[in-house]
Structure 1
């Protein structure tokens, strides 16, 4: 049983739902202090996101790429947990394998 104070999500079902959507980002939770989504980019894609007004955390579920933040970058792959501060220039580059990310935004979501 779920209520307004808690919910349960199945990652596999969310990823499958996102794959059926035209947008690379599927938001599945929004509450006043937090929003969560699944973000998927195919190999070779260009990540077109802009800096956000909120802090965010990415958890890499699948795939391999480089995360570039404010001119620095590093390889990310399954199990990588990434924090990006609000207003930081960032994008996923050199996407070698389709990348699937679980995304958490503070303060209710991407701007």
Structure 2
């Protein structure tokens, strides 16, 4: 994942791109102290956000509110997406936050493709 911030004065916390390959992909169940948006531009996957799972593909936008966990569960075609982390809420923390220490290690993402 590449993390970038906008120009001086930009209110965003972070923006950039992330990739999760179908074979050997890893991700971590996490939350942020800000709202986050993903714009999927390549690939297909099953993601979890705010207690629900969704199949996503090119052109889909995923919105997750501050404090809500989200994750990539399964990838059927290499996933690539643009992410945007909005303004921090209150005295918010930057980056991936985890409810338990073991979640910070991440997990193998299931391969949903056909062999």
Separation (CA, whole Å) in 2 of partners of 1:71 and 1:91: 10
Corresponding position of 1:82: 62
Preserved CA contact (<8 Å) 1:46 1:93: no
Q: Which runs of 4+ in 1 moved over 6 A?
A: none
TM-score, L = length of structure 1: 0.69
Corresponding position of 1:99: 79
The CA RMSD over aligned residues, in Å, is: 1.8
- Correspondence 1:22-101 to 2 at 5 A: 25-30=1-6, 32-34=10-12, 35-44=14-23, 45-101=25-81
Deviation at 1:87, TM superposition (A): 1.1
Report the count of equivalent residues.
Answer: 87
Deviation at 1:60, TM superposition (A): 0.2
- Structure 1 unaligned segments of length 5 or more: list them: 1-24
1:79 counterpart SS class:
coil
TM-score, L = length of structure 2: 0.67
